[in-house]
Amino acid sequence: MAAKKLAIVLPAYNEEEVIEKTTARLHGLLLSMIENKKITSDSFIMYVDDGSKDRTWELVNQLRAQYGQVQGIRFSTNFGHQNALIAGMTHLTGTDVDYVVTIDADLQDDPEAIVDMVDLANAGKDIVYGVRNDRTTDTLFKRYTAQGFYKVMSALGVNSIPNHADFRLVNQKVLKAFSAYQEREMFLRGIFPLIGFNEGRVYYARAEREAGETKYPLRKMIQFAATGITSFSISPITFVRNLGIGIFGISILFLIYIFFGWAFGKTSTGWPTLMVSIWMLGGLQLVAIGIIGEYIGKIFMEVKHRPRYIIAEELNDYDEQA
């Protein structure tokens, strides 16, 4: 089989501490794969700078001059990790690139797994998922919350890949299908299994972060999980509706109980019971309003049709040829 052109897309936000090491390792991987005739000599690395505040973009320019096989896109401001991935894939859709691999810049995902991904793609797989074979590098809290998240997504009927983040290979057929998805808040880990096609998996051990700080603290993880759930299911609203029906039914039973108590002269007033009821129902109402508001907020964001991102600058071979 003829060698394929490969592009490795990496979202980068304040990654000055690790980007040089990441590039050196990926460049060495590209050279090895080119030598083994797995990919073409014009394969490259593409960084998507998500509005970094440090020297990330400056280093991308330096690395391009040093290695040559480095391209880049810089956002005008911070638009988020998922939008950086989308920008990289959208930029390469319909080009002469055969395979696009997305991977984070922190080297936690094993770059060597890309070789196996390309082999599976050459064997006919359209999407190849990088899947962690264990979560020993995670804290106990993160490990159990991640497992709980995947179970919740499965219970809601969302077809996701457990222990898979955003480390994957896709071909042009998948990229073209992906371009039809136009929603603003996109949960990529649920979108690609939804696209279908012929898929494969490569298992790897995830390493510790090489340098810098995680870009997904607890607050962002919770927001990310909420986006995933509300983007693919209306089950939370259905649950609130059913809960309301259940509470209404219980209140009818209590009303009947109180009526019979009054009929037999056994009425009593209970301030604690009254207060607990008020607080419980008030809390449930606020939860219900909050869940419904989350969906209304998504509708609000979608109907404005704002761009997912704005590109301030590009570094690619096409610009130099023009």
Question: What is the domain partition of the chain in residue ranges?
Answer: 6-213+307-321, 235-304
Q: What is the pLDDT of residues 215-240, one digit of tens each?
A: 555 555 656 555 555 565 566 666 66
Question: For the chain, how many residues are written?
Answer: 322
CB distance 184 to 302 below 8 Å: yes
CB distance 72 to 314 below 8 Å: yes
Phi/psi for 208 (5° steps) reads -70, 155
DSSP character at residue 184: S
> How far is Cα 136 from Cα 147, in angstroms, rounded to an integer?
13
Instruction: Please tell me which of 69-78, 261-270, 283-292, 294-303 the model is most confident about, judged by mean pLDDT.
Output: 69-78
Q: Which amino acid is at 103?
A: I
In 107-163 the beta strands, taken as DSSP E runs, fall at 127-132
Give the chain's count of helices (H) and strands (E). 11, 8
Q: Global pTM?
A: 0.69
Closest CA to 306 of 51, 83, 74: 83
212 Rama sector, left if φ>0, alpha if ψ -120 to 50, beta otherwise: left
| Beta strand pairing call for 99-102 and 44-49 | unpaired
In the chain the beta strands, taken as DSSP E runs, fall at 6-12, 44-49, 70-75, 99-102, 127-132, 164-171, 199-204, 311-315
Residue 139 to residues 104, 109, 135, 136, 253, Cα–Cα distance (Å): 19, 17, 9, 8, 46
Query: What's the whole-number average pLDDT of the chain?
Result: 77
DSSP character at residue 269: -
Identify any residues that bridge with 199 across adjacent strands, giving them in sequence order.
Answer: 127
Q: Identify the CATH number of the domain defined by range 6-213+307-321.
A: 3.90.550.10
In 156-260 the beta strands, taken as DSSP E runs, fall at 164-171, 199-204
Q: What is the pLDDT of residues 174-197, one digit of tens each?
A: 999 988 887 777 777 778 888 888
Q: What is the pLDDT of residues 99-149, one digit of tens each?
A: 999 998 888 888 899 999 999 999 989 999 988 887 555 556 565 565 666
209: tokens are: 């972060």
| Beta strand pairing call for 99-102 and 164-171 | antiparallel
Band of residue 79 on the pLDDT scale cut at 50, 70, 90:
confident
103 SS3 class:
coil
Check pLDDT > 70 for residue 69.
yes
Order of all β-strands in the sheet with 99-102: 199-204, 127-132, 164-171, 99-102, 6-12, 44-49, 70-75, 311-315
> How far is Cα 84 from Cα 74, in angstroms, rounded to an integer?
9
Please classify residue 9 by burial: count the beta carbons closer than 10 Å to its beta carbon, then call 0-12 exposed, 13-18 middle and 19+ buried.
buried
Q: What is the pLDDT of residues 14-63, one digit of tens each?
A: 888 889 999 999 999 999 999 898 899 999 999 999 989 989 999 999 99
